Amino acid sequence: MKNNIYSMLNGANINLDDYEKEDLNDIEKKKIKANFRKSISKNKSHKRNMIVAGVALAFTVTLFGTNVGANALTNVLKIAGVEDIGSFLGIYKNLDEYKTVINKSITDNGITIKLNEVIVDGNEINVSYNISSDEKLKNVESPVHTSGLIYINNKVVFAGGCGSSKRIDDYKVQEVRTYDLGNNNLDGDLDMKIRFSTVDINGNIKDGKWVFEFKANGDELKADTREMELNNKFTLENGEEWTLEKYTDNSLGQKIYASVSNYKEKPRYGLVVSGNDNLNHYVRFRSDRADHIGKDRVVLKINKYDEKYNENAKTLTLTPYAEEFPDGEWKIEQIGKPFTIDLTQLK
């Protein structure tokens, strides 16, 4: 996909410095977004590389020569060079119609955070951003950590999050994090703000102000989400009771929502349900309990490195296991009998 874009632009001789850089106003942003959506075919059989190439060409031809052309073209090139949320999470579907593209950078105290894009998915938001430093990264495994708050309509709603990162070079990483926003209403247009307050790099904490404000909407993905109710209960040795309440399926993947009663702080448990679909494909859902998503509820997801079940499957037969994390160790044991989810009941 990237090679096709670069091939198109190889013959172009464009000096963006000759053009005055102007930010897009709200009306121009809406027009560009509308044109962008129209350029994406609803026919799911179209190849993604054809779509992206068409969009890049449309931006070049339509906008270049206007007072916003140089800036818009530069943004397209920046977006093309960033791994999008879908591919980063191991999802190879066209998610463009669900994204809010931000593509904004803020630099403070020698650290640049670039917010790439956001997808609202039910009670979660998936955020992609890059972190660049003028200091060389030393720790290969986890060179950078961030902390901050998320606001919706000027209200702090951040409840917990988890994610993964990859090193781009000696000075930059890309990270995609999923934030659980609890029971907050995420319907309709949302005035959102993400405020990063500290960056931990090479073991040194740097304070700063990296604030991103934008509008997002998750209604389209919500409308394309199928779900069904569950009622499977499991009791752990410490007396906690886990109840699987709902199963959902959309273009971002499949989830199982569970509630926790009689919560205990120690020992700390996570929940895994694994098994096969009726076509004999292995599948595993795992909770993020170890990442402190919540005391009374958790979400189980398929890891991006795990094999996905076949989309033509009609049933899943899964067995529940408890993961225990005592003193940094890891133990897992079966806590219930296998059960079956009838995927034909999704609606």
CATH number for the region 90-218 comes to 2.60.40.1630
What integer pLDDT is reported at residue 63 of this predicted model? Answer: 39
Q: Going by C-beta distance under 8 Å and a sequence separation of 6 or more, which residues neighbour residue 42?
A: none
The per-residue pLDDT for 51 is 34
CA dist., res. 175 & res. 117, Å (int): 11
> What pLDDT was estimated at residue 227?
96
47-58 core/surface letters (b: 16 or more CB in 10 A; e: else): ebeebbbebbee
Domain boundaries, the chain: 1-81, 90-218, 225-345
Rounded to whole angstroms, how far apart are CA atoms 300 and 24?
40
CA distance 304 to 242: 24
pLDDT for the residue 210:
96
Residue linked to tokens 């994390």: 325
Element (H, E) at 43: none
pLDDT 10s digit of each residue in the chain, 347 long?
A: 444 443 444 444 444 444 444 445 444 444 444 444 444 444 433 433 333 333 333 333 333 333 344 344 334 434 444 578 888 888 888 899 999 999 999 999 999 999 999 999 988 899 999 999 988 888 656 567 788 889 998 888 865 677 788 888 888 989 898 888 877 778 899 999 999 999 988 888 999 999 999 999 999 999 999 999 999 999 888 888 899 999 999 999 999 999 888 877 677 778 899 999 999 999 999 886 544 445 677 889 887 666 667 788 999 999 999 887 666 667 888 999 999 999 999 99
Handedness of CA 252, 258, 259, 262 (dihedral sign): negative
Say how many residues make up the chain. Answer: 347
Decide if 79 contacts 93 (C-beta within 8 A): no
Domains 90-218 and 225-345 equal at CATH topology level = yes
Q: Return the pLDDT at 49.
A: 39
Q: What is the pLDDT of residue 251?
A: 92
> What is the CB neighbour count within 10 angstroms for residue 23?
9
- Greatest CA separation for the chain: 69
CATH number of 225-345: 2.60.40.1640
Sheet hosting strand 189-201, strand order edge to edge: 155-156, 144-152, 189-201, 204-217
